[in-house]
A and B are shown apart, each in its own frame.
Chain A
Amino acid sequence: MIRVSNLTKRYVGRTAVDAISFNVEPGEIVGFLGPNGAGKTTTIRILTGYMPATSGTAVVAGHDIFRDSLKAQQRIGYMPENVPLYDDMRVKEYLRFRALLKGMRGREAKNGIAEAIDLCGLTEMRSKMIGALSKGYRQRVGLADALIHNPDLLILDEPTNGLDPNQIRRVRKLIQQLGLSHTILISTHILSEVEMTCDRVIILDRGKVRAADTPENLIKNLRTAGHISVEVNAAADMAADAIRTIPRVKKVIKESTEGTWTKFTVRAESGADIRESIVALANANHWPLREIHTQGASLEDVFVELTQSPHPD
């Protein structure tokens, strides 16, 4: 559905997107994850034909977004960040304008509007002024606009930004429902959202793709690297220094002490399982060891690991 290769966007004095490549297959819900300023919105604006890339290509639904942008745009439903809408229009009127703009006419437009209103739960609000709507309903109007022409691909830029937990849950449910019949690319920095809704995650940081995999795989890979909790009966500083000598250990943090027992969190490089080495170390030093386990990693850990890695923390 989306084929991006070597896409680069340079602003004056700054590279926002740096030669990224990724694919999105039909039917997938893909989360586009990254800290603020990672280049998510820039990438999305390029994919929707709002602005061109400095170099590289992007093909959406079989149409090159630079050469054949109108055809590609016809297949995309796009909801920009902060959902810009005309406040002086009524919901139905706005959706009608958008449907006509996207080339729908007559009965097709009428049905499209009715379906979108129904699907997004806007039935009661359809005659209200957009300016009078709450943020949650504005978001739904934006979503209704994005899917009104039944596009193959939905691109949603931070769809739950600024909503309350109930509204977030509703929007998320709607996205899952839409995912059954559409390919969806969601940009967000809310991790639980991705964990719950997405088949695949693309993590972007400082204009580069750091990882692209299913949430489960990302977490699994991190878990083997993982954070390890160790509780030993030994002098804290001595034990910490000893653990640091184990190869591939990145960091040892003293968490708490309880009498003579000290609890550490040990972080190792990814792919290294150092539990045995720690047990061996404890045995060699005759330290009583009463607890050792890997901490359950979450997507948040993956995110932090990937997007902070160059900074020593």
Chain B
Amino acid sequence: MAFAITISVLLGIIVLALWRFLSAGTGLVLLAKELRSFFFSPVAWVVLTLVMLLNGFSFTAALADLREGERSVTLTAYTFNSIQFWLAYFFIFPVITMRLFAEEQKLGTIETLLTAPVTTIQLLLAKYLAAISFYIILWVPSLLNFFIFQMNSIDDHSSIGSLTGSYTIIFLVGMFNIAIGCLASSLTKNQLVAAMICFTFCLLHFLLGFVLQNLPVPDAFREIVTHFSTQIHVRTFIDGLIDTRQIIYYISSAVLLLSITYHVLEFRKWKV
């Protein structure tokens, strides 16, 4: 019951925000501009290529190992729970998000943006949705890996549940981490500083859940930690179990971080 209420409240907030964002069309103009600045700069293509390369490597390595003999893990789990995957994973967010607000503040274009008939919330959502869109595009090649594999295999290895779960959790963790990046970028004019803040806190959140698992801490504490341990969430979702608690956790954290970003931007606007 409590879950149902939380979910509907969250959905309500999201739908309301999106409606306001899209209503005047200004949001879409901003979104198009943001996507344009992703794809008309080398950054997007470099990141896209490198992530594709790393995912390809991860996938091939998993296949090679599975070919050696019987293993107790599935291909999906192997791909998404390997060290090389997590090594690359946390570099994505700073690269995607560092320029969002820092660049506007450095160039001074935040002034031309906010003195046009644009609300801060429209600007924030445009930037966030653009980053999310790019993040989604980033995972398309890796999803294709699985499809191509499926098409070429003799038996039906399809594990739709596991795949859906994996990409759902990747999307959710991405929502959360991109929100951290947005906040980091709004705090400074310097893109490098924004990138470092984003990287540190994304990784810290991950490690906190990861490291504390294996330390001799009280059981009650360990149980709390499991609630925000991305590592554990990933394992659950890869098994094909879509846990609404985690969905709520990541979405509400993202909303919280974005609302802090909103207030940071408003504060900037008031102070300078």
Instruction: Establish whether residues B107 and A86, one from each chain, have CB atoms under 8 Å apart when the complex forms.
Output: yes
Partner of B111, one of A70, A74, A76, A80: A80
Asked if A252 is at the interface (CB within 8 A of a chain B CB), the reply is no
Interface centre among A11, A87, A102 (most CB of B within 10 A): A102
Instruction: Establish whether residues A80 and B29, one from each chain, have CB atoms under 8 Å apart when the complex forms.
Output: no
Known: A51-B270, A52-B270, A80-B112. A97 touches B119 (CB 8 A): no
CB contacts (< 8 Å) of A86 on chain B: these are: 37, 107, 109
**What is the 8 Å Cβ interface bit string for chain A, positions 263-289, against chain B (1 contact, 0 not)?**
000000000000000000000000000
Instruction: Establish whether residues A84 and B270, one from each chain, have CB atoms under 8 Å apart when the complex forms.
Output: no
Known: A73-B115, A76-B115, A84-B108. A101 touches B37 (CB 8 A): no
Instruction: Establish whether residues B26 and A103, one from each chain, have CB atoms under 8 Å apart when the complex forms.
Output: yes
CB contacts (< 8 Å) of A294 on chain B: these are: none
Asked if A98 is at the interface (CB within 8 A of a chain B CB), the reply is yes
B56 → chain A closest CB, angstroms: 30
CB contacts (< 8 Å) of B269 on chain A: these are: 50-51
Asked if B152 is at the interface (CB within 8 A of a chain A CB), the reply is no
Residues of A in contact (CB 8 Å), total 28
CB contacts (< 8 Å) of B113 on chain A: these are: 101
CB contacts (< 8 Å) of A105 on chain B: these are: 25
Instruction: Establish whether residues B117 and A102, one from each chain, have CB atoms under 8 Å apart when the complex forms.
Output: yes
CB contacts (< 8 Å) of A145 on chain B: these are: 112
Bound complex: CA A250 to CA B254 (Å): 67
Asked if B204 is at the interface (CB within 8 A of a chain A CB), the reply is no
- Select from chain A the residue with minimum beta-carbon distance to B269: A51
**What is the 8 Å Cβ interface bit string for chain B, positions 19-55, against chain A (1 contact, 0 not)?**
0000011100110010001001100000000000000
CB contacts (< 8 Å) of A80 on chain B: these are: 108, 111-112, 115
Instruction: Establish whether residues A70 and B117, one from each chain, have CB atoms under 8 Å apart when the complex forms.
Output: yes
Interface centre among A48, A51, A76 (most CB of B within 10 A): A51
Per the 8 Å Cβ criterion, residues 95-135 of A in contact with B are 97-98, 100-103, 105
Per the 8 Å Cβ criterion, residues 48-100 of A in contact with B are 48-52, 70-71, 73-74, 76, 78, 80, 82, 84-88, 97-98, 100
Bound complex: CA A101 to CA B114 (Å): 11
Asked if B4 is at the interface (CB within 8 A of a chain A CB), the reply is no
- Select from chain A the residue with minimum beta-carbon distance to B24: A103
Per the 8 Å Cβ criterion, residues 28-51 of A in contact with B are 45, 48-51
Asked if B272 is at the interface (CB within 8 A of a chain A CB), the reply is yes
Asked if B118 is at the interface (CB within 8 A of a chain A CB), the reply is yes
Asked if B116 is at the interface (CB within 8 A of a chain A CB), the reply is yes
A106 → chain B closest CB, angstroms: 12
A151 → chain B closest CB, angstroms: 11
Instruction: Establish whether residues B272 and A51, one from each chain, have CB atoms under 8 Å apart when the complex forms.
Output: yes
- Select from chain B the residue with minimum beta-carbon distance to A47: B115
CB contacts (< 8 Å) of B109 on chain A: these are: 84-86
CB contacts (< 8 Å) of B107 on chain A: these are: 84-87
Partner of B108, one of A48, A82, A88, A98: A82
Bound complex: CA A90 to CA B148 (Å): 40
Instruction: Establish whether residues A70 and B119, one from each chain, have CB atoms under 8 Å apart when the complex forms.
Output: yes
CB contacts (< 8 Å) of A100 on chain B: these are: 25, 29
Partner of B40, one of A70, A73, A88: A88
A153 → chain B closest CB, angstroms: 12
Interface centre among B107, B112, B113 (most CB of A within 10 A): B112
- Select from chain A the residue with minimum beta-carbon distance to B111: A80
Bound complex: CA A52 to CA B268 (Å): 11
CB contacts (< 8 Å) of A11 on chain B: these are: 271
Known: A51-B270, A101-B29. A88 touches B115 (CB 8 A): no
CB contacts (< 8 Å) of B108 on chain A: these are: 80, 82, 84
Instruction: Establish whether residues A98 and B116, one from each chain, have CB atoms under 8 Å apart when the complex forms.
Output: yes
Known: A51-B269, A88-B40, A103-B26. A74 touches B117 (CB 8 A): yes
CB contacts (< 8 Å) of B118 on chain A: these are: 101
Bound complex: CA A101 to CA B30 (Å): 7
Given A100-B25, A102-B117, 13 more pairs with CB closer than 8 A: A45-B111, A49-B114, A51-B269, A70-B119, A78-B112, A80-B108, A84-B108, A84-B111, A88-B41, A101-B113, A101-B118, A105-B25, A145-B112
* A interface list, Cβ under 8 A from B: 11, 45, 48-52, 70-71, 73-74, 76, 78, 80, 82, 84-88, 97-98, 100-103, 105, 145
| Shortest Cβ-Cβ A-B pairs, 7 listed | A84-B108, A48-B115, A100-B29, A84-B109, A73-B117, A70-B117, A74-B117
18 contacts between A and B (CB under 8 A): A11-B271, A51-B270, A51-B272, A71-B117, A78-B112, A80-B115, A82-B108, A84-B108, A84-B111, A84-B112, A85-B109, A88-B40, A100-B25, A101-B113, A102-B116, A102-B117, A103-B24, A103-B25
